[in-house]
Amino acid sequence: MNFTLSDVASAARSALPVGQDVELTGVAVDSRAVHPGTLFVAIPGARVDGHDFAPDAVARGARAILGQRVPPSLPERVPVVVVPEPVPALTALAVLLKKRASFRLAAITGSSGKTTTKEFTAAILSRRFEVARTPGNQNSAIGFPMSVINLPRIPAWMIGEMGMSAKGELSRLSRAFEPDIAAITNVAPAHLANFDSIDEVAEAKSEILDGLRPGGTFVANADDSRVAAISKRWPGRVVRFARFAKSDVTADRFERMETETRFRLRTSAGEVAITLPLPGTHQAVNFLAASAVAISAGASIEDCAAAAPDLAPSPHRGEFRRHRSGALLYDDSYNANPASLRAALDTLSGFAATRRIAVLGDMRELGSDEDVWHREVGKYASSRTDHLVCVGELARYYGEEAVDLGFPRQAITYVDSPEEAARLLDGMLAEGDVVLFKGSHAVGLDRAVEMLARAATEA
């Protein structure tokens, strides 16, 4: 959205440089992402200070700076709005522009599935409304307001992903942006390094309701006991989705294929056949969540059915690639927690493959019980794979637990890096194999996928 430097100063409650009001076309916190007309926000960090990159931002076309001080070596012609803290000022600017544009917001959070649910929701709702969405996983205290400010056009609805890693973060985002719809996809072991229990994670997720507008809708997963408990406490309107529990949006008659999932979507408005071009019941549940949000925003079940065949996974969230041998690479490498990893293993086990190979990396941020969570997943994997490749120090627990349960020791390989895993697999894969890649984002298993897929194009 277009705005002015006076908008920035007004939102931040700061002084506008005298005679230096300028038109601005977007915002960036990384100088490499600057385009002509951008407001560059200089954020001091633990490793780098954004103020040091202000001259580079200006050289790339930044028209003004928002920061804690006037950066050194900055041309005098470039105006600077000085604030005590740039991030709250960035949020205040985004809130001002959202109120001015007057679009509605559906906010989605959860331990897993929130990015896919956001994408599915946007696809369904766009059949009826002008829709925008947060790009990628821009769901943080910095990424979310940037997504609002950088909207290319004013939508009727914005579908926004809200994330958190600590108590209070979701509350601040929700209170600032006041969603019309707030959804919680699930609560699972994630971010436990910052919480003492999964119940505390659930309470932090419930903060998305703190700013829900009066008359707004809470979309809740009725199959998740913690989310269901939150919904029972919520005094406002609730729309529930589930496969098993009583709900407003549900599904039955599942047909599980290797590369698609078929089922009947059921709501109070009727039922309709769905063909989802993605395997795995977890993707069907993501679709139920998206349908519940979209229907709450004004979509029909016919819109849900019409959007379904064209849906595609986000990068590294259930994509399929090929190795030069013909082996199928199931790339779900973007991130992992125990619940999402079990879901991916279930999907892998559904393939009629010569070998089902699971390349599993560490699951990070699981707190003091991280070894227990890894062993539980190792137990689960032992009955759903033919070969395990364990990447990282914590991943050793997968293999150790599997061996304790009778999984062949010779069918487990331990490696230290994604590159080592790729080199190993490149020499052993064959037609008919299916390979799952799943681990925390920091492990970088996407690099192994890219190496193996690149080998196919170079063959």
- Stated as kind and residue range, the H or E segment containing 70 is none
Cα-flanking dihedrals φ and ψ of residue 235, to 5°?
A: -80, -15
Same fold for the pair 3-85 and 103-310:
no
Which of 450, 270, 238, 448 shows the shortest CA–CA distance to 361?
448
Diameter over CA atoms, the chain = 76
Q: How far apart are the first and last CA of the chain?
A: 45
Domain segments of the chain as ranges: 3-85, 103-310, 319-458
pLDDT of amino acid 257: 84
Domain 103-310, CATH number (from 3.40.1190.10, 1.10.340.70, 2.130.10.10, 3.40.50.300): 3.40.1190.10
Please give the Cα distance from 137 to 334 (Å, whole number).
11
Task: Please tell us whether the domain made up of 319-458 is placed in CATH 3.90.190.20.
Answer: yes
Please give the Cα distance from 412 to 396 (Å, whole number).
10
Residue-level pLDDT, tens digit, the chain, 459 residues:
999 999 999 999 998 886 789 999 999 999 999 999 999 999 998 899 999 999 999 999 999 999 999 998 898 889 999 999 999 999 999 999 999 999 999 999 999 999 999 999 999 999 999 999 999 889 999 999 999 999 999 999 999 999 999 999 999 999 999 999 999 999 999 888 889 999 999 999 999 999 999 999 999 999 999 999 999 999 999 999 999 999 999 999 999 888 899 999 999 999 999 999 999 999 999 999 999 999 999 999 999 999 999 999 889 999 999 999 999 999 999 999 999 999 999 999 999 999 999 999 999 999 999 999 999 999 999 999 999 999 999 999 999 999 999 999 999 999 999 999 999 999 999 999 999 999 999 999 999 999 999 866 665
Task: Collect all residues with Cβ–Cβ distance below 8 Å to 102 and sequence separation of at least 6.
Answer: none
- One-letter-per-residue 3-state SS of 409-436: HHHEEEECCHHHHHHHHHCCCCCCEEEE
pLDDT of amino acid 202: 97
pTM score, two decimals? 0.93
Which homologous superfamily does the CATH classification assign to the domain defined by 3-85?
MurE/MurF, N-terminal domain (3.40.1390.10)
